[in-house]
Amino acid sequence: MSIEKITFGKTKETDEVLEYLLKRNGVTLGILNYGATIHKCLVETSKGVRDVIGGYDTVKEYEDNDGYQGALIGRVGNRICRGKFSIDGVDYTLAINNGENSLHGGLKGFDKYIWTVTENSEADCDKLIMTITSPHMDQGYPGKLKVTVTYTLNDDKSFSIGYEAESDRKTVLNLTNHSYFNLTGFEELNVLDHKLKLYCSNFTPVDHTLIPTGEIRPVKGTAFDFTEEKTVGRDIEAKDLQLEYAGGYDHNYVIDRTQEVSYRNTTLFKTAALTSPDDVLSLEVATDQPGVQVYCGNFLHDDIVFKGSKPQRRRSAICLETQHYPDTPNHPQFPSAYLDKGERFKTTTLFKFTSR
Ligand code: BGC
């Protein structure tokens, strides 16, 4: 029922980094003004409190590592092929930071911004309203863009992320959050025994640089099928070129959008349900976005240390990044990620825990 503010550290450029703690009914969210990053997410269960989102103990580690732990991703989540796209016949070239492609907004994405924060507590929720302004041609993207992200912690063990934006000229936009979930509280340093259900009958296959080929492929009968709950690891080593390219699951799923969830005057759709191996904790994700990037930390390095001196491990956690499909600006058949001049961009994703 309150928001507490504590000092977290300083960036290399000596900006002060604060952590805002939102606490309600057995859930504590710790959010940094650096990258609008979720630093921690403590959930009470019958077996004790679990911190289910990965992260680091210091600002320096957030600055130095490339895993986007808990971060707000923008302007465009995931990859843009060779960092090139065009709008109405004008070509744009982005900062390249992932092989030959542009990933998660470029060299200085929104995960590296210091956000301005306003706190607001209401009877049934606590809110953190975070804003930045990204200048015209930031990382190569056109349009001066004002972004507002609102983290809302509700009474029912759920939190939402609301994204709003407005640009002064036509641009492309695809905002998401890059939290790595492990519902054992990182007691088990692999996520393969977690159970996962995806409300997704199709996914977008990729080439060897993880750029979508443009195909929308049914998951039925393949290792990608999570329409019935199964463990994350059951088929991860199956012989499948798509799994080989990504070293496991790192793919955009097309959300079926058949099962509605009403949330504060918006209609969302069931997207994913994740359950800890001991069944003590579940997480349900719902969104109004068309896709979700399911990434099980195939590229996490073993040599990095997480919060609380826990070693980070390959495949120790899973990201469920609700978003537009990767490389959308280069695939006119994908749901559009254009934002017109003056148009109001608005999207919401809800994360709801059930603890037993
Ligand atoms: C991408 C991965 C990438 C990771 C970076 C995910 O969203 O799908 O390919 O390695 O972000 O942390």
Taking only Cα atoms into account, the Rg of the chain, rounded to an integer number of angstroms, comes to 19
Mean pLDDT value across the chain = 97
* Residue located nearest, by CA, to atom 4 of ligand 1: 67
Q: What is the Å distance from ligand 1's center to 2 Cα?
A: 33
pLDDT in tens, 272-292: 999 999 999 999 999 999 999
pLDDT category of residue 301 using cuts at 50, 70 and 90: confident
Instruction: Give burial (CB, 10 Å; 0-12/13-18/19+) of 91.
Output: exposed
Identify which of 104, 107, 251 to mutate to test ligand 1's pocket (most ligand atoms within 8 A of the CB). Answer: 104
Report which ligand 1 atom has the smallest distance to the Cα of 77: 7
Percentage of residues in the chain with pLDDT exceeding 70? 100
Reported as type and span, the H/E element at residue 277 is none
Arithmetic mean of pLDDT, 140-163: 98
Say yes or no: CB of residue 253 within 6 Å of ligand 1.
no
Identify which of 37, 177, 206, 299 to mutate to test ligand 1's pocket (most ligand atoms within 8 A of the CB). Answer: 299
Residue 270: phi and psi, rounded to 5, are -55, 135
What gap in Å lies between CA 33 and CA 17, rounded to an integer?
6
What gap in Å lies between CA 313 and CA 341, rounded to an integer?
43
Say yes or no: CB of residue 299 within 6 Å of ligand 1.
yes
Please determine, for residue 169, whether its predicted confidence score (pLDDT) is greater than 90.
Answer: yes
What gap in Å lies between CA 331 and CA 163, rounded to an integer?
23
pLDDT in tens, 206-216: 999 999 999 99
- No. of H helices and E strands in the chain? 2, 29
Say yes or no: CB of residue 78 within 6 Å of ligand 1.
yes
Please determine, for residue 91, whether its predicted confidence score (pLDDT) is greater than 80.
Answer: yes
Greatest alpha-carbon pair distance for the chain in Å reads 58
Please determine, for residue 244, whether its predicted confidence score (pLDDT) is greater than 70.
Answer: yes
Residue 63: phi and psi, rounded to 5, are -70, -35
- Say how many CA atoms lie within 13 Å of 76 toward its Cβ: 32
Please determine, for residue 2, whether its predicted confidence score (pLDDT) is greater than 80.
Answer: no
Q: Is 195 helix (H, G, I), strand (E, B) or coil?
A: strand
Q: What is the Å distance from ligand 1's center to 81 Cα?
A: 14
Token pair of 42 as six digits: 């403590």
What gap in Å lies between CA 97 and CA 336, rounded to an integer?
24
Q: What is the Å distance from ligand 1's center to 132 Cα?
A: 23
Say yes or no: CB of residue 68 within 6 Å of ligand 1.
yes
- What single-letter DSSP state applies at residue 309? G
Say yes or no: CB of residue 199 within 6 Å of ligand 1.
no
Please determine, for residue 1, whether its predicted confidence score (pLDDT) is greater than 70.
Answer: no
Identify which of 66, 103, 204 to mutate to test ligand 1's pocket (most ligand atoms within 8 A of the CB). Answer: 103
Q: What is the Å distance from ligand 1's center to 78 Cα?
A: 7
